[in-house]
Each structure stands twice: as structure tokens, then as C-alpha cells.
Amino acid sequence: MKKSLLNINNLSIFPNNNSSLKLVDDISFDLEKGKTTCIVGESGSGKSLTALSIIKLLSPQLSCEGKIHFNGDNLQLYSDEKMRQNRGKEIAMIFQEPMTSLNPVLTIGYQIQEAISVHSSWPKKKVEEYAVELLKMVSIDADRVSSYPDELSGGQRQRVMIAMAMSCKPNLLIADEPTTALDVTVQAQILKLLDNLKTKNNMTMLFITHDFGVVHDIADNVIVMFKGKIVEKGPVKQILSKPKHPYTKALLNCVPDIEGKRKLKPIDYTKLNKVVMAS
């Protein structure tokens, strides 16, 4: 029996004033411990909302229904204070745009130290040393501690975000399109770094992306979402080479391959909708 870290049962997300409009519609999945699970889907499919509901950072205008169990505990029963303690320590998150998630008027050293001291009562000296250690872990020179975010490149900023997220050695790391804004060569470095950290710390990762190439490189398990529903889930090999659902097949047909031999087939949504409705 595989051990799972997070179980989501019948999760639905909808606006407060319109409970019939399901943005995420009755989804259930488990995250296997120590593995990387990728959520794939187009914009508007509800993949980011699912991630935000786990960390309880959904907009107050949205409500969610269903059960989210983390390590056996029901996250919905947590008080705001308890959740705040958990966030960062047990579950950490990395966002897509590294510039908007760092504070431009504080040095990166300060921001990393802040993340550490929220969850520990270490003396200042130790916190400073640990911050430098974290920067080294993500391959940034120690003298960069006093740099401001605008002095760093996009890839370096994302490394700083990863250092902050890793500061408390979380059990679960949620990465919401962390490499979409980066160049391909930098993207390859960041993916490698995340995968190494995951293996070293036996961390579980929930990785949101729309790029099947990234899925191929990093995922153990894949969840495919379409219009708020999970249409298919399974091990990465099965999904990429033997997709069962027509939407997964259609989406894979849109990905340009490196050989350049296959013709791109844009999705025929009217046809697809009929198939989805019928199933």
C-alpha cells in the first residue's frame, strides 16, 4: 500500500454568491508521499484554485466544500492561527512570477531570515548563518545576501523563492508554474534543482504546469484537469504514452514535438464537449 501525504475528497470550489457555478467540480485525489504529482490543464481549468485551497489562501469571495486531509488531519478544522503556523513549515508554496512574490524594498537575505524566524526561536546569528546556507543550497553566492530582488536575474529570484520555501523543510511543496516565466536553459536548471531537493529531503511535490515537456521531466504521477473536473489521472508513463481520455489525447496532439514530424491538431471543443458530456 502506497503511503499518501494528502487526500482530497470531493473538493468543489464556487463563488459565494453562486453555488451552482462550480469552478472546481467534485475532484478527489491523493498525493503519494515522496513523489511529484503534476496537475496539467489549460488556463481556467481550476488547477491553481485547487492548489490555493490546499494552503487555504483562496480569495474570501470563493468557498470550498469537501475534505482535505493532510497527514491524517482535516485541514478545514484548523483555525486561522494553526493554519498560519502550518503554512511554510509543513506546506510551502512557490509562485509563477518571482518578481511579484518578493518584496522589492528588502534585501533577499532579510526576506529569507524572516521566513526562518517566523517558525523558529533561533538566535539572530544562527538565523543569519542558516540563510547563507540556504542560498548556497540553491547555488547563489553568499555575498548576495545583501542584494535586492531587482539586482538578480529571473532564475536567481526563483532560486531565492525556492530557498525561502525550503527553509523549514516542508513535507509538501506546491509549485505553481515556477518555470513558465523563465528561459529554457534556466528552466532546465530550476527543474533539476527542485527534483534534487525533493529527493534529498524526501519531500512531496505538487507541481502545476501546462507544459507536457516539463511533466515528462519531473512528474511521477499526473492529474489532467478540464473545466474544473479531473478527466484522467495516473502514472506519468501511462498518461503520456497511453492516454485514455479524449481530452488528454487532444491536448497531447497540440504539443509540438522536437522531431517536428507530427502535424499539430488544434482541439475541436464542440466535439470534445459532446464526448465529455456523454461520459
What mask, x for binding other proteins by CB under 8 A, covers residues 224 to 253?
--------------------------xx-x
User: In terms of CB distance, is 105 or 258 closer to other proteins?
Assistant: 258
Please, which of residues 9-68 interact with other proteins by CB under 8 A? Answer: 42-43
State the CB neighbour count (10 A cutoff) for residue 212: 20
- Please report the beta strands in the chain, taking only residues with DSSP state E, as ranges in sequence order: 4-15, 24-32, 36-40, 62-70, 73-74, 91-94, 172-176, 204-209, 221-226, 229-235
97 binds other proteins (CB under 8 A): no
Tell me if 13 sits within 8 A of 46, measured CB to CB. Answer: yes
User: In terms of CB distance, is 70 or 95 closer to other proteins?
Assistant: 95
Binding residue (CB under 8 A) for other proteins from 128, 147, 195, 234? 195
Binding residue (CB under 8 A) for other proteins from 16, 196, 202, 273? 196
Please, which of residues 198-217 interact with other proteins by CB under 8 A? Answer: 199, 210-217
177 DSSP 8-state letter: S
Largest Cα separation within the chain, whole Å, is 63
Between 154-166 and 108-118, two packed helices, what is the crossing angle to 10 degrees? 20
CB of 247 to other proteins, least distance (A): 10
State the CB neighbour count (10 A cutoff) for residue 7: 16
Q: What share of the chain is helix, strand, coil (3-state, %, to 5)?
A: 40, 25, 35
β-pair partners for 81? none
User: In terms of CB distance, is 71 or 189 closer to other proteins?
Assistant: 189
User: In terms of CB distance, is 184 or 278 closer to other proteins?
Assistant: 184
User: In terms of CB distance, is 12 or 158 closer to other proteins?
Assistant: 158
Binding residue (CB under 8 A) for other proteins from 203, 218, 225, 231? 218
151 binds other proteins (CB under 8 A): no
276 binds other proteins (CB under 8 A): no
Binding residue (CB under 8 A) for other proteins from 241, 266, 277, 279? 266
State the CB neighbour count (10 A cutoff) for residue 135: 22
Amino acid occupying residue 266: P
Binding site for other proteins (CB under 8 A): 42-43, 154, 183-188, 191-192, 195-196, 199, 210-218, 250-251, 253-260, 264-267
